[in-house]
Structure 1
Amino acid sequence: MTRVRPYFATDAPALRRIFVEAVQVGAQAQYSAAQRDAWSGAAQHCPPDWGDRLGDHLTFVAEQHDNPVGFMTLGRDGHLDLAFVLPRVMGQGVADALHDRVLAEAQARGLSRLTTEASLRAQPFFQRMGWRLVTHQTVEIRGQKLDNAIMEKPLQALRKLPLR
């Protein structure tokens, strides 16, 4: 059973490990080792600004058996910045549960549109969830060029609440 809850500062190291494993293992078919190293930072340790990055967004954590297995972040502007799950739980509804929670929060806050820059690995998931491809782009990270998809999802606002 997957439970989705708000982020706590103590989650930062576990979410960093999820991010690195999702990039290094989950995206092997879409990106080279050099691209994955550049994207993940290659290091398993938590960079000093990682917790701040998560805390500056509305971040949700998916848990199974009280252990984090995925997370998604939503910025005040409706940009879904980070969306990662452990490779071993892909296809088990973890990303769906996180997406549903992010979507509900965005609608409750009166956002009219969500945006993201989805990896080639994540693009099919977002399309399945009703996101529209705007365009593909190539970004450079630490000297490596990575392709991704700029995507958007129009929303029906339910009511307006402040996003932190």
Structure 2
Amino acid sequence: MITIRKGNKNDLAQLQQLFVDTIHFVCHKDYNQKQIEAWSSGIENKERWQQVIHHQYILVATEQDKILGFCSLDNGNYIDLLFVHKNHQHQGIALQLYTLIEQEARQQNQKYLTADVSKTAQPFFEKIGFKLIKEQIVTVKGVELTNFKMKKDLI
């Protein structure tokens, strides 16, 4: 049975592994190998991951102590990370996590949510009511990747 709980510092290693594995195994249809390597190199930014754990509202979906997915909310209205394990895609885990994140944002009286969304995640975000604001090119380690600024009004 899947349970959702708040993430903590003890989850960090599993979160980072899930981040890398998901990018490599799920996003390869939308990004080339060089882009995948650059994007997944985000694991090296220890300061950023500490910021996620200590300063963001983060939820993890677990089953028997194994993390199957996670979602984080930064500054009350920005979905920073949403990743689901490669073997647990299309099982409703992202929707469960997102629903609770949106609930938290509403409790904080946020008027909207934003996210910078990968090509892979864009259809999911559209399905849950996000609208495209603009296509973006981001450069990571000298490699260009396309993503999308998206927004969902909560009121």
| TM bracket (short chain) | over 0.9
TM-score scaled by length of structure 1: 0.89
Distance 2:86 2:134 in 1: 26
Structure 1: runs of 5+ lacking an equivalent: 157-164
Structure 1 runs, 4 residues or longer, greater than 6 Å off: none
- Which residue number in structure 2 is paired with residue 7 of structure 1? 7
RMSD: 1.4
Distance 1:63 1:51 in 2: 20
Q: Deviations over 1:119-164 (max 9, x none)?
A: 00000000011111111111101111000111001113xxxxxxxx
Distance 1:133 1:86 in 2: 25
Does structure 2 conserve the Cα–Cα contact (< 8 Å) formed by 1:30 and 1:121? yes
Distance 1:51 1:61 in 2: 16
- Which residue number in structure 1 is paired with residue 46 of structure 2? 48
Q: By how many angstroms is 1:66 displaced?
A: 2.4
Q: Deviations over 1:56-80 (max 9, x none)?
A: 1111111122211111110115111
1:36 aligns with 2:29: no
- Which residue number in structure 2 is paired with residue 162 of structure 1? none
Which amino acid is the alignment partner of residue 126 of structure 2? Q
Q: How many residues align?
A: 154
- Which residue number in structure 1 is paired with residue 121 of structure 2? 122
Distance 1:71 1:118 in 2: 15
TM-score scaled by length of structure 2: 0.94
- Which residue number in structure 2 is paired with residue 111 of structure 1? 110
Distance 2:148 2:39 in 1: 15
Does structure 2 conserve the Cα–Cα contact (< 8 Å) formed by 1:4 and 1:101? no
Which amino acid is the alignment partner of residue 85 of structure 1? V
Q: 1:73 to 1:99 in 2, by over 3 A?
A: same
Quote the sequence identity (%). Answer: 30
1:148 aligns with 2:147: yes
- Which residue number in structure 1 is paired with residue 27 of structure 2? 27
Distance 2:4 2:129 in 1: 21
- Which residue number in structure 2 is paired with residue 65 of structure 1? 64
Q: Deviations over 1:37-65 (max 9, x none)?
A: 1001086xx65322333321111111122
Does structure 2 conserve the Cα–Cα contact (< 8 Å) formed by 1:115 and 1:153? yes
Structure 2: runs of 5+ lacking an equivalent: none
